[in-house]
């Protein structure tokens, strides 16, 4: 059963709130409506967020967050000693309450060790005993879109949860940084910049064919005189290299050559972003960039990108969404998505600007 005092959370005079963030780019973006709802419920409170270093820069440009505390693991917060060091740091900040968006038991242990008096979150991983406000994670709630999943937890706590559009706000320093990156990567002054993210960390079943990304890139360059940037991590580099290998035109391949701040600075300058279901897809949508989201093995009902300008392309093969890392059959969910499908939607979005 849910804690009978759940609804009392919203009535408490909280002034200093800690939020434990999720750990991956796409997951972080999908928590932003919950963070916005928390701000609406406690407009005068200081809201700090505990996050891993590789997602911290997203949260630093979230207007509802006052402070980002970096959980340096790997690093100084490794192991039992590191956990106690982090808990001591949090204890010194004298938080009134902690809201755990991350599901792991570790998150509950840390805020319990930090002596934070009010600790709220889903009762996942057997951590309910460590929480003062334990929300039951039902089978039904695990089937909704991830933004709704986090909002439902806050609703159970009695908070206001009107969903607002996701909005990130990079400052002037990002505009300056993007100018520097244009020079560094030889992007030039072409009016149309198109981003592509042909990788996906989860596995090959989420990746549309590199040769089809290449064909779309060639057609967009030819028709719109665009510059096409290939985004991704070092792990996405092989996918990006294959796109360039199959393209007739010269693309700007920066996969594995940028940090998250640089990725944000360049995506915000794009007129269009074409992506598999990935963290960068969510990031582009949150930055307000028109986004073409290609879905095969995964479920857009659960992880569709934010943004009114996001368009999902999926063919609803009978075997999808299978949620597998690798396709065990003929990859029909992606095979059915043609170059024309992606190009025509891309062209429509560019012409509507």
Which is more confident, 328 or 93? 93
Whether the CA torsion 303, 306, 308, 309 is positive or negative: it is negative
For residues 275 and 21, what is the distance between their CA atoms, to the nearest angstrom? 24
Average pLDDT score over the chain: 92
Paired tokens of 113? 């060790």
Which pLDDT belongs to residue 298?
A: 87
Which pLDDT belongs to residue 2?
A: 47
The DSSP-derived string for 161-199 is -----------HHHHHHHHHHHHHTT-TT-S-EEEEE--
Which pLDDT belongs to residue 4?
A: 53
- Of 298, 294, 233, 282, the closest CA to residue 32 belongs to 282
- Mean predicted confidence (pLDDT) in 83-92: 97
For residues 119 and 101, what is the distance between their CA atoms, to the nearest angstrom? 11
Paired tokens of 323? 């949620």
Q: Could you tell me what percent of the chain has a pLDDT over 70? A: 98
Residue 163 has pLDDT above 70, yes or no: yes
CATH architecture of 173-351: 3-Layer(aba) Sandwich (3.40)
Angle between helices 146-156 and 25-41 (to 10 degrees): 30
Which is more confident, 54 or 11? 54
CATH topology match: 6-156 vs 173-351: yes
Tens of pLDDT, residues 219-231: 999 999 999 999 9
Tens of pLDDT, residues 112-137: 999 999 999 999 888 989 999 999 98
Task: Give 166's pLDDT tier (boundaries 50, 70, 90).
Answer: confident
Cβ atoms of residues 99 and 134 within 8 Å:
no
Domain boundaries, the chain: 6-156, 173-351
Which pLDDT belongs to residue 45?
A: 96
Which pLDDT belongs to residue 1?
A: 42
| CATH code assigned to 6-156 | 3.40.50.2000
Q: What is this structure's pTM? A: 0.94
Task: Give the side-chain half-sphere CA count within 13 A for 301.
Answer: 8
Which is more confident, 24 or 326? 24
Residue 184 has pLDDT above 70, yes or no: yes
Cβ atoms of residues 55 and 135 within 8 Å:
no
The DSSP-derived string for 125-171 is GG-GGG-SEEEP--TTGGGS-HHHHHHHHHHHTT-------------
Which pLDDT belongs to residue 167?
A: 82
- Of 175, 194, 187, 225, the closest CA to residue 349 belongs to 194
């Amino acid at each position: 059963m849910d804690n009978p005092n759940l609804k009392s959370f919203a009535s408490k005079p909280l002034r200093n709130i800690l939020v434990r963030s999720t750990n991956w780019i796409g997951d972080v973006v999908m928590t932003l409506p919950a963070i916005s709802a928390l701000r609406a419920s406690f407009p005068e409170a200081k809201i700090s967020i505990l996050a891993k270093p590789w997602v911290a820069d997203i949260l630093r440009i979230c207007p509802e967050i006052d402070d980002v505390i970096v959980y340096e693991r790997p690093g100084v917060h490794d192991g039992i000693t590191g956990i106690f060091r982090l808990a001591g740091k949090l204890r010194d900040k004298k938080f009134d309450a902690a809201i755990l968006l991350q599901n792991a038991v570790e998150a509950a242990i840390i805020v319990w060790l930090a002596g934070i008096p009010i600790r709220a979150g889903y009762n996942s991983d057997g951590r309910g005993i460590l929480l003062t406000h334990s929300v039951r994670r039902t089978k039904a709630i695990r089937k909704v879109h991830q933004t709704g999943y986090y909002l439902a937890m806050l609703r159970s706590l009695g908070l206001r949860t009107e969903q607002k559009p996701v909005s990130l706000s990079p400052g002037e320093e990002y505009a300056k940084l993007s100018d520097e990156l244009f020079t560094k990567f030889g992007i030039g002054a072409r009016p149309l910049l198109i981003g592509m993210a042909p990788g996906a960390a989860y596995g090959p079943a989420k990746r549309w064919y590199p040769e089809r990304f290449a064909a779309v890139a060639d057609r967009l360059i030819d028709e719109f005189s665009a510059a096409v940037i290939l985004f991704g991590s070092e792990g996405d580099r092989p996918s990006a290299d294959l796109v360039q290998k199959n393209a007739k035109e010269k693309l700007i391949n920066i996969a594995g050559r940028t940090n998250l701040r640089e990725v944000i600075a360049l995506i915000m300058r794009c007129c269009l972003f074409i992506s598999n279901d990935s963290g960068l897809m969510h990031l582009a949508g949150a930055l307000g960039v028109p986004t073409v989201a290609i879905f095969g093995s995964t479920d857009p009902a659960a992880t569709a990108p934010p943004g009114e300008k996001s368009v999902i392309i999926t063919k609803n093969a009978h075997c999808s969404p299978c949620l597998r890392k690798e396709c065990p059959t003929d990859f029909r969910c992606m095979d059915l998505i043609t170059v024309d499908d992606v190009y025509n939607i891309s062209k429509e979005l560019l012409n509507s600007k």
